[in-house]
Amino acid sequence: MSNKGVPIGVFDEISKGIKPLSSVEMPLLCILTVVLFDVTNDAQINPGDWFTEKELRVSLESIAERPSSSRVELPVTMENVISILPDSYITKVKMSFLVSLFHSQLIVYDYETQRSPKYKRGKEGVVPVPDLNMKSVKDIAKSMLSETYLEDMITLNVYSEDLEALDYNPNTQTLKILSGATISILDGFHRLQGGVRALAINPELDLEMILSVRSYDTETAKKYFGQINTVNTVKKERLKELKQEKFSDLVVRDIQKKSDLRGKIASASKISEIAGQLTTFDIMSFGVDSVYNPKSKLEAKEVADNLITFFDYLAGSFVDEFLGKPEAYRNTNRNHPLIFLGYIVIAKHFTDTRRSLAELKSFIESMDFREEKLDELLHDRRGINNSKIRNSVIKYFQDKVGSEL
């Protein structure tokens, strides 16, 4: 393919699924078919069965007339580089620069210093391949393309057993990767593949990344990789909160910041009674999504404003239960973590019926939070993180407010 004018790395993108066949333009598809047939002699992909002679000729001419691939060769010089230690440097670069290194086959995946490979059977027998999570790659690419991706760090290891791999000039703050050096990716392989995918869709994408360059031998590289991957993992509930991927998450974040429930919504999968927490971020987000289902930032802001006012009225009407001594009222179910799903239903009911929040206290006091059916749901052995239980609690309250208790 390279001999016919196709840039280096395009076949890798297609074979790995980074560039789906459905997105390949006709000239490239023609050449891909021609090359695969030449190599395999597989009668099922005979180009003559799929394309006319004119299509084949025009495709070859079209690809050949394109500007030559921006293939990168060593040495490569980077500017504005800060030296942390003699074998550690940091700078910022365009993602397109890193992708061009990858397409030029200068960045390799070193199985000795990375995650264990997966194995696939090919013509040459069983071969190792990077353990790549394509969903993660696609999510990263999508975020990059929508320009919501925040600059992140990629770590490269540049080394050579026979000669100097790097040359740093402290006066000009330039770092040169010398000819003969090997460049492996120590951290950020999925980020790099996300960039490859994003730039294949939008070659004009302007995204900067933080680049850390190390020059470690194999044993030091292994130690470094082990170090960055044994840091305590972040709980999925906390990741959800930090990433704020859904509009309902934005609503809960506002409630956390601006209402009297500040400090009362746990980031983890369960509350800390010692800290006086009442419910969890995930429960609240689930409730907002199920009851309000905001579909834009504007809707999310409107929902947040309503719920902030509602929970201020609620907490202000029952200070001891929610703010003062919540632990003393656990057996009432009025501040059970799942009961906040019910409060979200009640909040929407008050908004929809234009009912004054001045009536909220008497409305809540008229409810039986120890009713047998509700009590069974709240204390079901499947726990507060079970979606069926959560949905059942929401339906219970929807039925209640629908009949005005």
Question: Residue 146 pLDDT more than 90?
Answer: no
| pLDDT: which is higher, 207 or 116 | 207
Q: How far apart are CA 24 and CA 15, in angstroms?
A: 12
Dump pLDDT digits (tens) for 149-196.
988 999 999 999 888 999 999 999 999 999 999 999 999 999 999 998
Q: What is the pLDDT of residue 395?
A: 96
End-to-end CA distance of the chain: 72
pTM of the model: 0.53
Alpha-helical (H) ranges within 202-234 are 218-228
Band (398; pLDDT cuts 50, 70, 90): very high
Place of tokens 């010692």: 274
| pLDDT: which is higher, 384 or 228 | 384
Burial 89-119 (b: 16+ CB within 10 A, else e): bbbebbbbbbbbbbbbebbebbeebbeeeee
CA-to-CA separations, 146 to 143, 152, 206, 338, in angstroms, rounded: 5, 16, 11, 35
Dump pLDDT digits (tens) for 281-302.
999 999 999 999 999 999 999 9
Q: What is the pLDDT of residue 318?
A: 95
Dump pLDDT digits (tens) for 109-142.
887 776 656 666 655 565 666 778 888 999 999 8
Nearest to 307 by CA among 362, 250, 238: 250
Question: Residue 239 pLDDT more than 70?
Answer: no
Structure-token pair, residue 45:
């992909």
Domain borders along the chain are 2-65, 76-228, 236-402
Q: How far apart are CA 22 and CA 339, in angstroms?
A: 48
Q: What is the pLDDT of residue 147?
A: 81
DSSP H or E segment with residue 238: helix 236-243
Mean pLDDT of the chain: 86
Q: How far apart are CA 28 and CA 238, in angstroms?
A: 44
Contact 208, 158 (CB under 8 A): no
Nearest to 73 by CA among 109, 101, 110: 101
Write the DSSP assignment of 242-281 as a string of letters: HH--SHHHHHHHHHHHHSTTTTTEESSSS--TTTT--EEH
